Amino acid sequence: MRDSNTLDSTRLQRLQQTPLWEFALALYAKPGVETACLTLQEEAELDVCELLFHCWLYSYGLEAIPRAAARQRKQRRQWQSSVTAVLRGLRRDLKASAASSDSVAALRETIKQAELMAERENLQRWQEWVLEAHSDEQRVINIVEMPQDSAKWLRNQLLFSKPNIHSESSLNTAPALCQALQTLTCQLDPHQGAR
């Protein structure tokens, strides 16, 4: 008998039909999602790309196997800290100067586009990690029963193997962070790919 959380190839095929980048853009454009993502990034130091990755899987009734995701998470965080965060810092540093200089404003816009490209690359690498797994290496499984509290499920996905006690306690107690997770998960359709 097949285990109920064994990967359903139909769900994986549906996942392949919606690239993570396109999913992320559509979700990010929904009401409240941008603010929720930025709140979680700034106040809980969570990686928005990983957050969107888990949302993508969830919307197709899938979840990453925590142990399998740990190594990929380390690589993705390295990318975020050495590339994306550097670009973000440069963009923020130029904000005041850009207000009074057209050339600095143009430079800041170029850096903003590079930051966006770095995030797109990070999402692409998350997607490849799932879709290019060897047949003997399972990286995602079906969510057996869709959770009643999807915000709690998402929080658990993000905090697994994250040794940041501050973020974990903040996500459990800070109303703004709990609200951000709730806002985000309310915009997901957990049934679109799980049928």
> What tens digit of pLDDT does each residue of 41-67 get?
888 888 999 999 999 999 998 999 988
- Total number of domains in the chain: 1
Above 70 in pLDDT, residue 173?
Answer: no
Q: How many alpha carbons lie under 13 Å from residue 65 in its C-beta half-sphere?
A: 13
Residue 115, domain member (yes or no): yes
Residue 180, domain member (yes or no): yes
Return the C-alpha torsion angle 41, 77, 173, 64, nearest 10: 110
Identify the pLDDT of residue 1. 35
Q: Which domain holds residue 127?
A: 9-186
Residue 57, domain member (yes or no): yes
pLDDT range class, residue 166, cuts 50, 70, 90: very low
Kindly calculate the radius of gyration of the chain based on its CA atoms and give it in whole angstroms: 18
Q: What is the pTM of this model?
A: 0.84
Residue 160, domain member (yes or no): yes
Residue 195, domain member (yes or no): no
Residue 193, domain member (yes or no): no
Above 90 in pLDDT, residue 102?
Answer: yes
Residue 71, domain member (yes or no): yes
Tokens of 77: 């965080």
Residue 194, domain member (yes or no): no
Higher pLDDT, 193 or 115: 115
